Amino acid sequence: MKELFKQRLNRLAQLNHRELIVLSGEQDWCLHSVHEWLPYLSEEQGLWLSPWLGLWLGKGAPETIPAIQAAKASQWLGRERQFVVFNAWSGFDVDAFGAISGVVKGGGVMFLLIPELAQWSQLEDPEHRRITVYPETKNRVTGRYIQRLAKLLTESEHCSLIQQNKEPAWSALPNLNVESEASDGHGYCQTLEQAQAVEAIKKVATGHRRRPLVLTADRGRGKSAALGIAAAQLLTHGLKRIVVTGPSLASTEQVFQHAGECLENTCLSRGTFSGGRVQWQDKSIQFMAPDEIVGNPVDCDLMLVDEAAALPVPLLESLLRQQSRIVFSSTIHGYEGTGRGFAIRFRKKLDTIAPKWRALSIRQAIRWADHDPLEQLVFSSLLLDARPAEDHQVEGATAEQCEWVCFDRDQLVQNESMVAQVFGLLALAHYRTRPFDLRHFLDGPNIEVYGLLYQGHLVGTVLAAREGAIDTSMQESIWLGQRRVRGHLIPQSLSNHAGIPEAIRQKGLRVLRIAVHPAIHRKGLGAEMLNCLAQSAHDKGFDYLGTSFGATSGLLNFWQNSGYQPVRTGLQREAASGCYSLMMLQSLSEAGNELQVEARSRFFDNFLLQLPESLKVMEAELVRQLFRGASDFSSADLSERDWQDIASFSRGQRLFESCLPAIRKLLLKSLVCADSDFNNGEQALRVLIMKVLQQQSWSNLAQYEGLAGKKQVLVHLRSCVGQLETALKH
């Protein structure tokens, strides 16, 4: 077997392919087998990975091979190793498996050490801690995900399966010689496609304004390298400041590394490179977090958004509106986010804001040859390439023709096509879907999976988590913030943040994800699923349905139209989404209604006090929407004297500050009146929200409205107050 392994390594090197070798058996046997093959590999080019710290970490690894915890796998992105040993005996971290597979270079191998296939799903996996919620225990987490994976590894033609006491099942390697494209003539680029991408990036910075580029590629295609090379070349040709952004600084490391190397190799004056910044002479390439940019727009010559699929569309839209020269780069199939979903969700915004945008893809692999076995196996096992049903199969669907089902997950896991459709829809609909999400929805003990079927095809899906019914002995400690049980986001937040200790007692069902097939958006299928879910949850004895999400005007409108009401908002923007988190409820029982009424009352009391402080920069349109349909909000009635104050301000010259109490009452009354429909009413509400409720400065309001100063703002405010006065009186 040793000689055969040596021959396979030579063949892999000729093909520039990578392979997964699965070693299945007792752990000592797995470790012994790996050690037998190590002499044929370069140990300084190896990496040993185990999911958990402690005795398991690095067990069996030679001292010459670095051993890391699975949680740190993403720190190795962009680096290369001839081989990786993934010891899954100490747990199978699915996200780490996906990330670390990209570290193996062409001609290399990845070893996966697992128990006997029939017993693997019964192993007490430490990863179950991430899925277990109170009051469940680790042994209540099912092994459905591992059962599916074991079946796939057994049947796959893209990996070699070596089982203890059985004949090895080596995968078939092609006999054809594979010639990679030579890099000659492409400068610092390794393929023609990468060189074309560099030129396209440079054209965004030097050509016409408002012509953004969307660059997509799978991993290993040199996409981030192209961003770095282009940035370095642009600095040497006159650009002063280039800003790079993305989900995190670590996710953009390759951009800075290649920019630094390119500058060092091409310039007599060497640039300096330190985390998140490349400095060359008086010019720089600098990383900034996306939420920081949205809150404080920056002036730069070019903005590069790496791994854009991992950022939500509203945040990307803000960047697009702010920057006239911008490049969006995204992985098509990756744990960073799904590029296909990103393209579908973002295309409409691009068409509206920058209709002359350009799309470019890099298809040819650089670090390994096309049709790489390891890449194909990772795609299929982690469902990175999962797709929903074809458009033509579902485009005729209507709510009346569809069937609502609650999936039995034991049966679902046996239907690979339906699993792929569910996960494919989730990946399209959500900006950050990870491989772990597949394991969570298959194995989570508190998870329920629903679907809407049309002629056997999935047109929509809902993932929900059971919450609440927490032991009353913990009520006081959770309310006081002294204790928090795993899971149960809404009841614990309502207890601790909203100050309703009894909230933990009720049973709730929280919507984690909801997705509708993109071919049939805006046909009411999302609302139909929420109606069906409400009926199902009511029949099962739940007190309420809940949801929590990064608030945008469109999403808030969807949930409000489905009968959900806001009960809590976060006090600062989420770093990943650039949005404020929003929690909403729909009551299903008398007890649930009592909880919702009290939560709503406390929400508005807090909300009004938070607007001039923590929520000072919340979008005024979002503030307006949160009051929509708030008939239960008791705004003070306007007295005859109040109406006199309002009239004297709108039609006279009285001070704004002197009339402020009456103006505030008028504004709140206008916000909660469903019939306040008048010309330019939304603009009037927006301006008054910013000044009266958020207490924006005169200079900020002038800048926002494009006015010269306080005097013009006052004239504008008098007109806005007059509009509200007329609308409410009529």
DSSP 169: B
Q: DSSP H helical segments within 627-697, as ranges?
A: 640-650, 656-672, 681-688
Owner of token pair 């390594």:
9
* 204 appears as a binding residue in the annotation: no
Q: Is 704 left (phi over 0), alpha (psi -120 to 50) or beta?
A: alpha
Alpha-carbon distance of 355 to 439, in angstroms, equals 39
* 367 appears as a binding residue in the annotation: yes
* 394 appears as a binding residue in the annotation: no
Alpha-carbon distance of 617 to 703, in angstroms, equals 14
Long-range contacts formed by 376-381: CB under 8 A, 24+ apart = 376/158, 377/20, 377/156, 377/158, 377/159, 378/97, 378/98, 378/101, 379/333, 380/152, 380/156, 380/158, 381/149, 381/152, 381/153, 381/156
Q: Residue 661's CB: how many other CB atoms inside 10 A?
A: 13
* 514 appears as a binding residue in the annotation: yes
End-to-end Cα spacing for the chain: 90
Backbone angles phi, psi at 33, to 5 degrees: -65, -45
Alpha-carbon distance of 54 to 73, in angstroms, equals 17
Residues recorded for the chain:
730
The DSSP bridge pattern shows strands 544-550 and 507-516 to be parallel
Find out whether 394 and 304 touch, Cβ atoms under 8 Å. no
Q: DSSP H helical segments within 611-655, as ranges?
A: 620-626, 640-650
Cα angle 478, 484, 486 (rounded to 5 degrees) comes to 140
Alpha-carbon distance of 306 to 316, in angstroms, equals 11
Q: Residue 484's CB: how many other CB atoms inside 10 A?
A: 15
* 625 appears as a binding residue in the annotation: no
Enclosing H/E stretch for 374:
helix 373-382
Binding site for ATP, by residue number, is 194, 367
Binding site, by residue number, is 194, 367, 514-516
Binding site for acetyl-CoA, by residue number, is 514-516
